[in-house]
Amino acid sequence: MRAAFIQELGPAENIRYGEIDPPVPGPTDVLVDVEAVSVNPVDTFVRSGLFRTPVDFPFAVSRDLVGTVVSAGPGAPGFAPGDRVWCNSLGHGGRQGAAAEQAVVPVDRLYHLPPGVDAAEAVAVVHPAGTAYLALFTHGRVRPGETVLVAGAGGNVGSALVAMAVEAGARVVATAAARDADHCRSLGAAEVLDYRDPDLTARIRECSPAGIDVHIDTSGRNDLAAAVDVLAPRGRIVLLAGARSQPVLPAGPLYMKDGSVVGFVISHATTAELAEAAVAINRLVGSGRLRARSVERVPLSEAARTHRRIEDGELHGSRVVLLPKES
């Protein structure tokens, strides 16, 4: 079958488009005909080796797919040929990636696609939305009525954070570029602040006098001094971006607020945590309340170029989806 794959870790140019052996499903696996594959920053981290995880060569890149079930093993109940499905946890931890004509998905990592949802539209959001769910609920323990600060709310993860926090009854304070303000408001953010405002911390304090209960910065700046400054008593700072950042933590002020800092990567989420997130993702995707701002559809043979575009920072919130059937 055709795939976008690497034979060794390294730069985007290592990705080749060509034939590899088709995957062989085990008894608890589902064989899927792949319709659409997304490309995320983390796919570039796995490919380059920045994020260390077991991979077998030839290794098909990418972790998310939408597709159609070809066959399900005897230990994979609930799935039948023709079912439309999605997964957001291939391509790491020893599992082959999604960027191929077919993929094998362990049954506990596969979910049904809500009816009527477009494959490319869905695959574009399942990684950012899974990340947002884990940040807000698994690690941030957000409660209705709490105030959530989403820094970078105009981005992929940021947009999903706003939509999910609002759905959960939280009040969202968003920081974003001025051009993204209307988008953040359309998702339900109560306040939208320009991240370039030199008095941003004062603005956050003004609109949240009781403090921020859950603080999430998707930009990777991780200014912990500013985050602790605006944190409410018992507030939680959730770190998820900025792989090379090494900020200074004001430990004294943090502990005197009973505050905490927790980091996570979705790659370490359990299958139970991912399945819980999938329920929320299906609800939002199925009702049209969560959509990527723009989706560019390209053939699978464009995988290497797409990795390079992400690494060069060219995409600015738009998503590129690889289509194996159009290559």
Ligand X SMILES: NC(=O)c1ccc[n+]([C@@H]2O[C@H](COP(=O)([O-])OP(=O)(O)OC[C@H]3O[C@@H](n4cnc5c(N)ncnc54)[C@H](OP(=O)(O)O)[C@@H]3O)[C@@H](O)[C@H]2O)c1
Residues 172-191 that bind ligand X (CB under 6 A): 175, 177
Does 218 bind ligand X (CB under 6 A)? Our answer is: yes
**Least distance from ligand X to the Cβ atom of residue 157, Å:** 4
Secondary structure of residue 132 in the 3-state scheme: helix
Q: Applying CB under 6 A, what is the total number of residues that bind ligand X? A: 26
Does 128 participate in binding ligand X (rule CB under 6 A)? yes
* Cα angle 20-21-22, degrees, rounded to a multiple of 5: 115
By CB under 6 A, name the one of 11, 22, 114, 220 that touches ligand X.
220
Which of 1, 249, 265, 298 forms a contact with ligand X (CB under 6 A)?
A: 265
Q: How far apart are the first and last CA of the chain?
A: 12
CA 232, CA 214: separation in Å to the nearest integer?
A: 8
> Minimum distance from CB of 24 to ligand X (Å)?
29
Site string for ligand X, 288-307 (x = CB under 6 A): --------------------
* Closest to 162 in 3D by CA, of 136, 143, 141, 138: 136
Shortest distance, position 253 Cβ to ligand X, whole Å:
21
38 forms part of the interface with ligand X (CB under 6 A): no
Query: Which residues within the stretch 39-68 sit at the binding site for ligand X (CB under 6 A)?
Result: 41-42
Q: Which is nearer to ligand X, 89 or 282 (CB)?
A: 89
H helices present in 72-151, as ranges: 119-133
Options 79-87, 226-234, 264-272, 286-294: segment touching ligand X (CB under 6 A): 264-272
Cβ 325 to ligand X, closest distance in Å? 25
CB 150 within 8 A of CB 158: yes
Q: Which of 102, 48, 141, 121 is nearest to 296 (CA)?
A: 121
Q: How far is the CB of 110 from ligand X (least distance, A)?
A: 20
Q: Looking at the chain, how many residues does it have?
A: 327
Under DSSP, is residue 84 helix (H, G, I), strand (E, B) or coil?
strand
CB of 139 to ligand X, least distance (A): 10
21 phi, psi to nearest 5 deg: -65, 140
Is 140 a residue that touches ligand X (CB under 6 A)? no
Handedness of CA 61, 64, 66, 70 (dihedral sign): positive
Least separation in angstroms between CB 154 and ligand X: 4
Q: Indicate the pairing of strand 260-263 with strand 2-6.
A: unpaired
Binding to ligand X, residues 230-249 (CB under 6 A): 240-241
Element (H, E) at 281: helix 271-286
CB of 219 to ligand X, least distance (A): 3
**Where does this chain touch ligand X (CB under 6 A) — which range of 20-28, 124-132, 165-173, 276-284?**
124-132
Describe the strand order of the beta sheet including 231-239 as a list of residue ranges: 191-194, 171-176, 147-151, 212-217, 231-239, 260-263
Residue type, 182: D
Residues that bind ligand X (CB under 6 A): 41-42, 127-128, 131, 151-152, 154-158, 175, 177, 195, 218-221, 240-241, 264-266, 316-317
